[in-house]
Amino acid sequence: MTSLLDKASSSLRYAQPEAGTEAVVEEESPVARLAQTILERAAGTGVSDVHLEPDESGVRVRFRLDGVLHTAMTYSLGLRNAVISRLKILSHLDIAERRLPQDGRMTLELGGQRTVDVRLSVLPSLHGEKAVLRLLNRAGQLVELPALGLDATDTEAFLTALERPHGMILVTGPTGSGKTTTLYAALQVLNTPDVNIVTVEDPVEYHFTGITQVQIKEEIGLGFARILRAFLRQDPDIMMVGEIRDLDTAQIAIRAALTGHRVLSTLHTHDAVRAVTRLLDMGVEPFMVASSVSVIVAQRLVRRICPDCHGPDDRFSRQQLREAGFTDAELTSIAPLRGQGCVACHGTGYKGRIGLFEVLPVSDQFRSRILERQTAEQLKQQALADGLKTIRRSGLDKIKQGLTTMEEVVSVSTED
């Protein structure tokens, strides 16, 4: 990761604080320069998160690049509190409070062309405050639907659901699997002058022109459910709910889908069929789920093989490839690749990420099984009979295409 530290953008500057929150900051102090160096190097190399982790000997700085944490640098304990205070000032937090967690945000401008929103989370730990900064690049956040990694069949099924005048589209997967990116790609397709689109998010990660976006504020009682009720009085055509977290939110969203609205939302489940059982476990009636849900998309993110240093990957035997899920017919022609490590990929062999998907259009037969409250295993059998391509199969196809490696696919998927 040394090369990460060599790609600083000297044009980075801090956006002006909001009126009434100005703070006097010595821009040329060593602490200010260190904080700026950390932020600009992260922003300049596509890092998603920065961790500042104190221990008994110093502070370790780690960058999350393409989903994996790498140590970027360390600095002395003597600078620990000063750097955190600097970040707190930029995020309009209380620098005197070191006993409680705090959350804030700041805005960075790089050369006047790119703007990066930074969310700061500070947590008191045994050796001092730990900080995690999430970088949200406004210019780079949006990915168009064709670039997500869906194959032609799954893209068609997803677009068919989006084009319906009503119904619920669910995107599911663990934290960090790209669900918001997929929802934003869908919004780009749907965002036309003849529809009213409203979103409720926590937080708003990208600002759309032509879409009304609302961020929840739990501290004043402005949660998902309350905002959704207000949305229904705003003459919406399309509603995006950042996450369904409870029964109240689920019921309001589903009723909206049943009364002529298109609703997009996310859940945290292992696969597509478990999105159904999750809603049922929340207390949603089976007939409401069966009647409202149009399509369920489960997804994971894997790292892409670096295009500048890729080469043959002969580490796996035919038996290992077969056990991973490749058919005998596929084994006759498959030639897995891997990155060798180069300057372009910071020695990792990977550059960027791509999605693995299973797209489940809800068929009449599948709806019948929902009404019967069948188990996740029984629902999976019906989905496979309907032609579902699993996340593992999506990953194997990406290996055949030379886009990712066996390690990446096996790490995020289970055998079918």
CATH code where residue 337 lies: 3.40.50.300
Domain edge (last residue) among 79, 112, 137: 137
Quick one: 394 and 371 in the same domain? Answer: yes
Where residue 9 falls among pLDDT bands split at 50, 70, 90?
very low
Higher pLDDT: 133 or 415? It is 133
Quick one: 47 and 191 in the same domain? Answer: no
pLDDT of residue 22: 36
Task: Give the count of domains, the chain.
Answer: 2
pLDDT of residue 290: 98
Residue 123 φ/ψ region, left for φ over 0, alpha for ψ in the -120 to 50 degree band, beta for the rest: beta
Quick one: 130 and 197 in the same domain? Answer: no
Quick one: 110 and 156 in the same domain? Answer: no
> Cβ distance 63 to 47 under 8 Å?
yes
Quick one: 166 and 241 in the same domain? Answer: yes
Average pLDDT over the chain, rounded to whole?
A: 90
Q: What percentage of residues in the chain have a pLDDT greater than 90?
A: 81
DSSP single-letter state for residue 95:
T
Q: What is the Cα–Cα distance from 53 to 34, expressed in whole angstroms?
A: 15
Quick one: 185 and 237 in the same domain? Answer: yes
pLDDT of residue 111: 63
Query: What would the mean pLDDT of 301-327 be, rounded to a whole number?
Result: 95
Scan for tokens 């869908």, then name that residue. Answer: 186
Return the percent helix, strand and coil in the chain, to nearest 5.
35, 25, 40
Q: What is the Cα–Cα distance from 324 to 392, expressed in whole angstroms?
A: 9
pLDDT tens digits, 228-279: 999 999 999 999 999 999 999 999 999 999 999 999 999 999 999 999 999 9
Domain edge (last residue) among 120, 137, 154: 137
What's the domain range around 122?
Answer: 2-137
pLDDT of residue 4: 42
**Cα-only R_g, the chain:** 23
Quick one: 99 and 170 in the same domain? Answer: no
Quick one: 110 and 149 in the same domain? Answer: no
CATH code at 24? 3.30.450.90
Burial readout 58-77 (b: 16 or more C-beta within 10 A, e: otherwise): bbebbbbbbbeebebbebee
Quick one: 108 and 231 in the same domain? Answer: no
pLDDT tens digits, 110-166: 765 677 889 999 999 999 999 999 998 765 557 899 999 999 999 999 999 999 999
Domain edge (last residue) among 80, 107, 137: 137
Quick one: 129 and 216 in the same domain? Answer: no
Sheet holding 212-215, edge to edge: 212-215, 197-201, 238-241, 262-267, 167-172, 293-305, 350-361
Q: Which residues have CB under 8 Å from 24's CB, separation 6+?
A: none
pLDDT of residue 116: 84
> Cβ distance 172 to 268 under 8 Å?
yes
Quick one: 149 and 63 in the same domain? Answer: no
